[in-house]
Amino acid sequence: MTTPPLTSGILVIFGITGDLVRKKLLPALYYLAGENLLPEQFEIVGLTRRGTRVEDLLDGLQQELRERGEPADHGTFKRLGSIMRVVTMDMTRAQSFADLKATLDGIETERGTCLNRLFYLSIPPHTYGPVIDFMGDSKLGSGCQHGTADSRIMVEKPFGYDLESAQELITRIKRSFTERQIYRIDHYLAKETAQNILTFRQSNPLFQAVWGSRHISHIVVNAAEAIGIEGRASFYEPTGALRDLIQSHLLQVLTLVTMELPDKPTSANVHQEKLKLLQSIKPIKPNEVATRTVRGQYKGYRDEAENPDSITETFARIEVEIDNDRWRGVPVLVQAGKRLARKDTSIAIGFGDPAARHNIANTLVFRLQPDEGISIDLVAKKPGFNDDAERVEMTFDYHNAFGEGIHPDAYERVLMDGIRGDQTLFATSDEVLASWRIVDSIVHEWAKGGDDLIIYEPGLAPA
């Protein structure tokens, strides 16, 4: 894949005081600044309802780095501070967006050049629609004032709450931005091991020959987290594990494992194959929800969410089937949960006789987190006079192979790709809709009541 050139830009962050900005975006910008990877002409404009100052944001960043046990570099802080400004704005008023446009025009006039405008929506998903309408009305989607630079918009998931609302949102956004301008963020795709899946499949013919239902007995895509909702009740209550992780991150990651490999891995070809794969997954029917899904909620969640009647799932498991020649008949489990025993984001591919699911010969595991890498277990004879055999693991591990800290964090990649205009690792509107189609009836069946919701002890995933 060729890398588009780095261009200049103004990064406009809606919701600069939010949790995501503090935990992910500001650290990512700090590392990019530290590595001199930001374009020479670059400005960050943080938007907030509440008054805050650049110094407050930098203090928060410093604290975040301290919590990570990482040293803070004074020079990088200074550099980052010098290209940041905060604008207080009421996002419910049209005039605020006209004012924002005037601010951006002013920055370009100050700098004497047009800058690409990158709008990052780090605000509650239900506010995307109105904010984007205002942006369209005030011509924020039309690039710089002289028409020589682009406007791009980056949105966090979930993109809609079900198939219908996602469709409505897509239609609404398209009134102001074209598909080429919209970057639907899925930071899982920007994780190094996720990117490695296609490379691994493309470059290791040994596995290509056995990649399908004749040799693979099942696939498990797993995203277990030890953390709970971390004070994000207002986001999590209407979202739940199915929307938060499965509809977006995990179905996207599944496509990387199961899509057909394009002859040339261009962005368009990869998106085309991912879409074909998503469209070949059989949508779960309403009458299958009881047998093909499991949902749970960790004990103590309702107190954290301050909702004694909450039926929001903090654990979800679904079983899907890919209805194409390569995968037909292979069960695929996709599951995600919070407050489980430990963090484990991985894809396990069981090789063995598909008819005997429990008699797995080898398991290939892509570990997205922690200990990023790839491993496969093999059966080997134990040393000694007997013929006893044992399972042993062969592992490729990023830290051992390439050294510590040399691969960028997913959000650094997300921001860099937004800045340089590379949409490969972002979800297209068709992909988003195809994913919703798979889980739509689950969303609606689950909304009817919580009889099947399993309340689980923290650390113990529902069976």
Backbone angles phi, psi at 378, to 5 degrees: -130, 160
Looking at the Cβ atoms of 43 and 244, the one nearer to ligand BG6 is 244
- CA distances to 125, 314, 408, 460 from 463, rounded to whole Å, are 32, 14, 35, 9
With H, G, I as helix, E, B as strand and everything else as coil, classify residue 140: helix
Q: With contact defined as beta carbons under 8 Å apart, do 140 and 97 qualify?
A: yes
Pick from 7, 62, 113, 369 the residue near ligand BG6 by CB under 6 A: 369
The residue assigned the tokens 């090789």 is 351
Structure-block tokens of residue 418: 């937004």
State the minimum distance, in angstroms, from the CB of residue 355 to ligand BG6. 34
State the minimum distance, in angstroms, from the CB of residue 191 to ligand BG6. 7
With H, G, I as helix, E, B as strand and everything else as coil, classify residue 255: helix
CB atoms within 10 A of CB 262: 16
Looking at the Cβ atoms of 244 and 417, the one nearer to ligand BG6 is 244
State the minimum distance, in angstroms, from the CB of residue 161 to ligand BG6. 14
Q: With contact defined as beta carbons under 8 Å apart, do 84 and 118 qualify?
A: no
Pick from 225, 273, 313, 440 the residue near ligand BG6 by CB under 6 A: 225
State the minimum distance, in angstroms, from the CB of residue 244 to ligand BG6. 5
State the minimum distance, in angstroms, from the CB of residue 456 to ligand BG6. 17
State the minimum distance, in angstroms, from the CB of residue 461 to ligand BG6. 16
- CA distances to 23, 164, 244, 274 from 161, rounded to whole Å, are 24, 8, 10, 21
Structure-block tokens of residue 171: 């239609």
116-121 sheet: strands from edge to edge: 84-88, 42-48, 9-14, 116-121, 151-155, 182-184
Q: Which of 187, 249, 271, 407 is the catalytic position?
A: 249
Q: Is 345 in the site for ligand BG6 (CB under 6 A)?
A: yes
Looking at the Cβ atoms of 108 and 244, the one nearer to ligand BG6 is 244
Structure-block tokens of residue 34: 């530290």
User: Which residues in 252-291 contact ligand BG6 (CB under 6 A)?
Assistant: none
Q: With contact defined as beta carbons under 8 Å apart, do 212 and 206 qualify?
A: no
Instruction: Identify the helix (H) or strand (E) that includes residue 413.
Output: helix 410-420
Looking at the Cβ atoms of 247 and 345, the one nearer to ligand BG6 is 345
- Per-residue DSSP letters for 162-182? SHHHHHHHHHHHHTTS-GGGE
Looking at the Cβ atoms of 226 and 378, the one nearer to ligand BG6 is 226
Is residue 249 flagged as an active site residue? yes
State the minimum distance, in angstroms, from the CB of residue 369 to ligand BG6. 6
Residue nearest to ligand BG6 (CB): 244
State the minimum distance, in angstroms, from the CB of residue 186 to ligand BG6. 8
236: which strand partners? none
Looking at the Cβ atoms of 225 and 377, the one nearer to ligand BG6 is 225
* Cis preceding-peptide flag for 462 (omega within 30 of 0): no
Looking at the Cβ atoms of 19 and 457, the one nearer to ligand BG6 is 19
CB atoms within 10 A of CB 120: 27
Structure-block tokens of residue 68: 């990570």
- Per-residue DSSP letters for 18-45? SHHIIIIIHHHHHHHHHTT-S-SSEEEE
Per-residue interface string for the shown chain with ligand BG6, residues 236-255, x marking contact by CB under 6 A = --------x-----------
Amino acid in the structure at residue 14: F
Looking at the Cβ atoms of 372 and 377, the one nearer to ligand BG6 is 372
- Among residues 321, 396, 409, the alpha carbon closest in space to that of 364 is found at 396
Instruction: Enumerate binding residues for ligand BG6 (CB under 6 A).
Output: 225, 244, 345, 369
Q: Mind telling me the catalytic residues?
A: 249
